[in-house]
Each structure stands twice: as structure tokens, then as C-alpha cells.
């Protein structure tokens, strides 16, 4: 390996949203020295890559994707870091080493972990993982009113901290379906604005409608019940714009539900950007289902037992040591949050959900789900609405309307669509990369032993 060559290529840099408990510089320094206790003392979101000698350390929360690829150049490994697979590939192409690349060789940093990688040459070292989020499980009483208040209060605090870092007159969009999570997110954001001495009407809710969708009628009814129709907007988009292939390419993933959600989000935010060119911030209720385990069992191979015995299953997947864990994609919302992050970033928005913050996830973790479910899978579909309704009433004094659970991507359509298959999504993903990789594997390739150092990889 060559001395004096910076072999960490960070293509995105430090990112944060609603960060509290430390400054950005302090978080970056904590990642650099491997201080997980310091990271644990923060809330909000961040993604960081830092180098300490031969060791590169990376960490992220749910709100920002982060992944890396080990390129072989100049007699040593170059760790290339980005939030996207294609950005890493484009860097490799620019260095004429695209022939080394395969999307399957990239690795996603799992949320809530500090990952350490030693740049010591071949063979590639095994990363080391250390958790920095360890919330107590099942410590709260089995009382919906008590746990609901604690959950809503934590979400209000997270929302207030995020909003306080935005310009005081900045308008904020709300991705609003009229469901439990988006309604509570809107109400919490309005109260947070009031607490900060700001105009709550700077928050404007947007509902996607492909024409006759159930969400539009539901959202209008909820907004009317809350007396907020003046701050609500129906966003009508031709259904022909609902492009599943484009969504696969955008989120660089092939999980069907995330692809469908991203396709709808791309439609919504594209039109919102056209209508409101100065809007920069959006808030939504993503993560609410994961926190309250509100997913129907029949949609997966999960059982009530597997959900109860894996407390962070929906946030992190099966865990980094499990057979089912994907290093390329992490798991749970750690993997799936690209469905929110990517559409927002594509159209110049910064997205936030209070339900993805660790302080809020911790309150959900404290809930005694085994006692609350009483071994009844049917309770999965009703517990969240009871908890959130009770919490909003206790914290905000609002009797929030409760609507039936429905996925965002389903409610925008007038008629039910057939469920997308993972096989189709995977085929679309693979075919697109087959073309790109074949085009990159030409004669203009650089050997890993070539000594020229790119300008961005030199140490001043």
C-alpha cells in the first residue's frame, strides 16, 4: 500500500436531520474514535464516515442510507462511500475501474451500528459491528393510555427539535393520507410549530390522488374534522405516471412493497415540487407501522411469535448475525427507508419522520407487546390506532379521527391493483445492471496496479 494516499473516498459527507445531544462535529469525532456511548447519547438522524489511521468507521441511523464498496487501486483497498449504488459505480467508471464493480459487492451500513473496517489489503477484512442503540424492552405497563402518552410526547419532542433547526418562516409539506401515522405527524408538527412561536399554517398537507382514490376522500374528511381544510391540498396525478420500473431504479432495490410505495411517492413529490418550487422540507408518518408492529401477518412468513421475540425486527430486520440478513441491503426499515429518502432527495426535499427517531422507537420498545396482543393476531390491526389516538388526546387534547389502516400506495388508486411480485422487481433490477456492467467492461480499463493517484484521493 502507498503511504500518503487518502484511501477513503466519501462521496456524500456528513449528514444529519433533527440531531440533538451533540453537534455534527461531535458526532463525526465520536465515529472517528469509535465512541458508541457518545453516539447513544444523541437523538435524531445522522450518517458519517471517518478514517482513523488504517481504520475506517461508519455509522448511521434510520433516516439516511449509507453504503460502501471496496475498490482495488494502487496496491491497496479504496473504500468508496455513498448513499447510492449508482454513485459508487459512477466513481469507479470515472477511475476506469468499473469492471471491478458489481452491485452485490456493495454493503449497506445497518442502522444503529458503528461499523469498523481495517484497510489492510487483501484479503478484505471482516467488518466489526457495535450497537449504539440499546433500548429496554417491555418495561412499560400494559396500559394503552400510559404508553400512548409517552409515545406521543416523545414524537412531539423529536418533531420540535427537527423543526427548531429549520428557518423560522420555512414552509413544510406533510405527506398526508388521513391514516393514523400521517394525521398524528401533522398534528404533532402543528403543535411543535406553536411551541416554537411559529405559524402552524406553514405546514401544508398533500394527498396523492390518481383519480377517485380512497385516500383523497379519507384525507379530506379528516382535514375537515380537524378544521384544517385550508391547509390541505389534493394532488391529482395521472395514473400513467405511476412507474414501477422507474421506482426500482430510483430506490435501487426490489422489495415489492417498497417499490410500490416509492412509485407513489415519486408521483406525489414530483407534482408538489412543480406546484411549490420553494418548498424544501417534508414530514410524514413513516416508521409508525414498524414501531407498533402494525403489519398484517398474512403478507409475510412472519408469525406473532417471531415478531414478539425479535423486538427490532421491523426496524432492523432479523439482525446482522441472522441467516436472513442481507449485507447488501441490511433489513427492515433500515433497508426500506429508501422508499421515503430517495423520492424526497430526487426532487430536492429533506424528509423527516418523528417515528424513526430513536427516542420514539425507544418508547415503542418499552411497550409490553406480548401482554397487549394477548396472543391474538387480530390485535395487530387495532393496537396502533388505540395507542396513537390515546397519546394524541393526552398530549395535544385533540380527539384525532381514526381511519382504517391502508398502505399509502394503495389508497391513491381508484381500484385495487394486483400485488407486485419480488421476482418481477428483481428481474427489472438485474436487467438494468446487466446493461450497465456490460457497457463498462470494455477496453478502456485501468489495472489495479497502475500508480497514478486521482486528484480527489491525494492528501494535501
Residue from 200, 192, 183 nearest 153 by CA = 192
Give the pLDDT of residue 361.
98
Residues above pLDDT 90, as percent of the chain: 78
Residue 459 pLDDT exceeds 50: no
Task: For the chain, give the mean pLDDT.
Answer: 92
Over the stretch 351-379, which tens digit does the pLDDT of each residue have?
A: 999 999 999 999 999 999 999 998 888 88
In the CATH hierarchy, which fold is given to the domain comprising 144-424?
Rossmann fold (3.40.50)
| Average pLDDT for 373-386 | 88
Domain boundaries, the chain: 8-133, 144-424
Over the stretch 24-78, which tens digit does the pLDDT of each residue have?
A: 999 999 999 999 999 999 999 999 999 998 899 999 999 999 999 999 887 678 8
Give the pLDDT of residue 330.
95
Strand partners for 50: 57
- Confidence band for 409, pLDDT divided at 50, 70 and 90: low
Give the pLDDT of residue 215.
87
Give the pLDDT of residue 413.
67
| Average pLDDT for 128-141 | 97
Residue 254 pLDDT exceeds 60: yes
d(CA 66, CA 83): 5
d(CA 370, CA 377): 11
| Average pLDDT for 329-334 | 96
How many CB atoms are located within 10 Å of the residue 197 CB? Answer: 7
Give the pLDDT of residue 414.
55
The per-residue b/e assignment along 171-189, b for 16 or more CB within 10 angstroms, e otherwise, is bbbbbbbbbbbbbbbbbbb
At 390, list the grid cell. 390515546
Give the pLDDT of residue 460.
32
Give the pLDDT of residue 376.
83
Residue 416 pLDDT exceeds 80: no
Residue 292 pLDDT exceeds 90: yes
- Confidence band for 433, pLDDT divided at 50, 70 and 90: very high
Over the stretch 88-118, which tens digit does the pLDDT of each residue have?
A: 999 999 999 999 999 999 999 999 999 999 9
- Confidence band for 240, pLDDT divided at 50, 70 and 90: very high
d(CA 459, CA 297): 53
Contacts of 222 (CB under 8 A, 6+ apart): 178, 183, 401, 403
Strand partners for 236: 209
d(CA 331, CA 62): 11
- Confidence band for 4, pLDDT divided at 50, 70 and 90: very low
Residue 5 pLDDT exceeds 90: no
Amino acid at each position: 500500500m502507498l503511504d500518503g494516499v487518502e484511501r477513503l473516498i466519501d462521496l456524500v459527507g456528513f449528514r444529519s436531520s433533527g440531531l440533538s445531544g451533540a453537534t455534527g462535529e461531535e458526532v463525526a469525532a465520536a465515529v472517528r474514535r469509535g465512541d458508541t456511548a457518545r453516539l447513544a447519547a444523541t437523538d435524531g438522524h445522522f450518517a458519517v464516515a471517518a478514517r482513523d489511521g488504517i481504520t475506517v468507521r461508519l455509522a448511521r441511523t434510520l433516516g439516511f442510507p449509507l453504503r460502501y464498496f471496496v475498490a482495488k487501486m494502487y496496491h491497496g483497498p479504496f473504500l468508496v462511500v455513498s448513499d447510492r449504488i449508482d454513485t459508487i459505480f459512477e466513481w469507479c467508471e470515472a477511475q476506469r475501474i468499473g469492471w471491478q464493480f458489481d452491485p452485490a459487492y456493495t454493503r449497506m451500513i445497518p442502522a444503529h451500528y458503528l461499523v469498523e473496517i481495517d484497510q489492510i489489503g487483501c484479503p478484505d477484512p471482516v467488518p466489526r459491528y457495535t450497537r449504539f442503540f440499546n433500548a429496554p424492552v417491555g418495561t412499560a405497563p400494559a396500559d394503552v393510555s400510559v404508553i400512548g402518552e409517552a409515545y406521543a410526547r416523545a414524537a412531539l419532542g423529536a418533531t420540535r427539535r427537527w423543526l427548531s433547526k429549520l428557518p423560522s418562516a420555512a414552509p413544510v409539506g406533510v405527506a398526508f393520507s388521513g391514516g393514523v401515522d400521517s394525521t398524528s405527524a401533522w398534528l404533532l408538527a402543528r403543535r411543535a410549530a406553536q411551541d416554537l412561536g411559529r405559524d402552524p399554517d406553514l405546514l401544508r398537507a398533500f394527498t396523492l390522488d390518481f383519480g377517485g382514490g380512497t385516500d383523497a376522500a379519507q384525507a379530506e374528511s379528516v382535514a375537515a374534522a380537524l378544521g384544517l381544510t385550508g391547509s390541505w391540498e389534493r394532488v391529482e396525478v395521472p395514473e400513467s405516471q405511476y412507474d414501477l420500473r422507474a421506482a426500482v431504479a430510483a430506490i435501487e432495490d426490489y422489495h415489492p412493497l417498497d417499490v410500490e410505495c416509492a412509485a407513489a411517492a415519486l408521483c406525489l413529490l414530483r407534482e408538489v415540487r412543480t406546484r411549490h418550487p420553494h418548498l424544501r422540507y417534508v414530514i410524514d408518518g413513516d416508521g409508525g407501522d414498524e414501531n407498533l408492529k402494525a403489519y398484517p401477518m398474512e403478507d409475510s412468513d412472519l408469525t406473532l411469535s417471531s415478531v414478539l421475540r425479535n423486538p427490532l425486527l421491523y426496524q432492523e430486520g432479523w439482525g446482522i448475525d441472522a441467516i436472513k440478513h442481507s449485507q447488501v441491503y441490511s433489513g427492515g426499515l433500515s433497508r426500506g427507508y429508501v422508499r421515503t429518502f430517495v423520492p424526497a432527495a430526487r426532487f430536492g426535499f429533506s424528509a423527516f419522520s418523528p417515528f424513526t427517531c430513536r427516542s420514539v422507537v425507544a418508547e415503542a420498545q418499552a411497550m409490553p407487546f406480548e401482554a397487549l396482543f394477548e396472543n391474538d393476531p387480530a390485535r395487530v390491526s387495532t393496537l396502533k390506532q388505540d395507542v396513537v389516538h390515546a397519546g394524541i388526546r393526552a398530549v395535544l387534547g385533540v380527539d384525532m379521527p381514526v381511519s382504517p389502516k391502508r398502505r399509502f400506495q394503495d389508497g391513491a388508486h381508484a381500484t385495487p391493483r394486483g400485488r407486485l411480485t419480488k421476482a418481477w422487481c428483481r428481474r427489472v433490477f438485474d436487467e438494468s445492471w446487466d446493461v450497465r456492467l456490460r457497457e463498462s467492461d470494455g477496453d478502456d480499463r485501468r489495472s489495479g496496479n497502475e500508480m497514478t493517484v486521482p486528484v480527489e484521493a491525494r492528501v494535501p
